[in-house]
């Protein structure tokens, strides 16, 4: 016997759409289920000015399938040269909804990221004044820091001091991966700190990447951590705590780039995210909290209305996730959670 689950249409608060042929192929996978998404600006070259964001938004809208209803929420890529006035104008225009902080070299296409936190302080102060959130890729890139410790060190050395010296700055800790990050997000009681959790970090730990052979399609940044950290993320996502919300960090790469001698980081989860989340929340006896995580907590943090449409998921016969999405930029492997999916979004 099947059963249904009706949810306010969800949003994705951290999404990579890329550009060109890749954009055309992956955008429908998100627009099918999600009403809005915070779009990452780490293109080559990156989206650093309001003019860049305006042009990229037009390319996204032009790539939408006919009849699709989807709103890209644009962001700017923070650099040492970012102009506070340009940021403020873009926010006043309604063009951007956040600014993204990448420490230089932290992840894919982050070479232009921040190197001097002193130089970006004027931008951060202006953002605090106008209520514009800062989305943070929370990892240090120092060569002497173990890759599994980068998030914890970033919170201590960078994020906490940054927030203390910029009172009122609204911050999203993106794609958190550790129990310590969960605890830090919960330490805020003023409503100025939120945290996104990805689909794949709720499913995989570091053994999925490394045990029994290297599995490149599970390699992402921040890298998955120990099982105890995955369980902490799962508890946070299913807790009903409004400080945690969905940001898939769905990140497509052509298979040849993932499978090379120096493979790219990223999991492409857009296609099956809602089915995977329904499975995960059901297993945790928390289906009643999925709507909060996927559809309500994010709009509340970004001070946007909830969507006025619904999606319906139906539980039925099991199927396997994964597969391949053909794109003009090459085949992209769809994330396989490693377990059967019983839920599917009705179209």
**Number of helices (H), then strands (E), in the chain:** 13, 13
Averaged over 137-163, what is the pLDDT? Answer: 95
Please list the residues that pair with 320 across neighbouring strands. 340
Averaged over 255-259, what is the pLDDT? Answer: 97
Measured distance CA(29)–CA(347) in Å, rounded: 12
- The answer to whether 180 and 187 have CB atoms below 8 angstroms apart is no
Q: Which residues are catalytic?
A: 249
pLDDT tens digit string along 215-250? 999 999 999 999 999 999 999 999 999 999 999 999
Averaged over 146-157, what is the pLDDT? Answer: 96
Domain that holds residue 180: 3-345
pLDDT grade for 103, boundaries at 50, 70 and 90: confident
Residue 267 exposed, middle or buried by CB count within 10 Å (0-12, 13-18, 19+): buried
What 3-state DSSP class applies to 75? strand
Encoding tokens for residue 29?
Answer: 């996978």
CA atoms within 13 A on the CB side of 317: 1
pLDDT tens digit string along 194-215? 999 999 999 999 999 999 999 9
Instruction: Judge whether residue 92 has pLDDT over 90.
Output: yes
CA 105 to chain centre: 18
Q: How many CB atoms lie within 10 A of CB 308?
A: 8
pLDDT grade for 106, boundaries at 50, 70 and 90: low
pLDDT tens digit string along 52-84? 999 999 999 999 999 999 999 999 999 999 999
Pairing of strands 12-15, 193-197: unpaired
Pairing of strands 340-345, 71-77: unpaired
The CATH number of residue 172's host domain is 3.20.20.140
Residue 339: predicted pLDDT: 97
State the sign of the Cα–Cα–Cα–Cα dihedral 266, 301, 173, 52. positive
CA 75 to chain centre: 12
pLDDT grade for 1, boundaries at 50, 70 and 90: very low
Instruction: Judge whether residue 111 has pLDDT over 90.
Output: no
Residue 107: predicted pLDDT: 61
Give me the number of domains the chain comprises.
1
Instruction: Judge whether residue 2 has pLDDT over 80.
Output: no
Instruction: Judge whether residue 104 has pLDDT over 90.
Output: no
pLDDT tens digit string along 299-345? 999 999 999 999 999 999 999 999 999 999 999 999 999 999 999 99
């Amino acid at each position: 016997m099947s059963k249904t689950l009706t949810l306010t249409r969800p949003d994705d608060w951290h999404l990579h759409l890329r550009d060109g042929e890749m954009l055309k192929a992956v955008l429908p996978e998100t627009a099918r289920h999600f009403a809005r998404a915070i779009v990452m600006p780490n293109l080559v070259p990156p989206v650093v000015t309001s003019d860049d964001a305006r042009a990229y938004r037009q390319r996204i809208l032009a790539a939408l399938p006919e009849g699709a209803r989807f709103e890209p929420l644009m962001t700017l890529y923070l650099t040492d040269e970012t102009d506070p006035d340009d940021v403020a104008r873009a926010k006043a225009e309604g063009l951007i909804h956040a600014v993204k902080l990448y420490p230089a070299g932290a992840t894919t296409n982050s070479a232009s990221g921040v190197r001097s936190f002193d130089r970006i302080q004027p931008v951060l102060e202006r953002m605090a004044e106008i209520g514009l959130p800062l989305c943070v890729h929370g990892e240090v890139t120092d060569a002497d820091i173990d890759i599994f410790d980068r998030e914890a060190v970033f919170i201590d050395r960078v994020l906490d001091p940054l927030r203390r010296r910029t009172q009122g700055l609204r911050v999203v800790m993106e794609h958190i991966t550790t129990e310590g990050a969960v605890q830090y997000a919960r330490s805020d009681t003023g409503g100025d700190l939120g945290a996104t959790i990805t689909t794949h970090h709720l499913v995989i730990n570091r053994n999925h990447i490394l045990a029994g052979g290297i599995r490149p399609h599970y390699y992402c940044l921040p890298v998955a951590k120990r099982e105890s950290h995955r369980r902490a993320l799962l508890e946070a996502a299913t807790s009903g705590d409004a400080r945690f919300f969905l940001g898939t960090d769905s990140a497509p790469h052509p298979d040849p780039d993932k499978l090379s001698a120096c493979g790219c980081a990223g999991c492409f989860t857009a296609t099956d995210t809602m089915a995977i989340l329904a499975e995960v929340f059901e297993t945790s006896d928390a289906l009643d909290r999925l709507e909060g995580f996927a559809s309500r907590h994010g709009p509340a943090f970004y001070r946007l209305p909830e969507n006025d449409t619904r999606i319906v998921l139906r539980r039925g016969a099991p199927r396997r996730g994964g597969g391949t999405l053909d794109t003009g930029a090459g085949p992209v492997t769809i994330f396989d959670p490693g377990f059967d999916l019983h839920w599917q979004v009705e179209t």
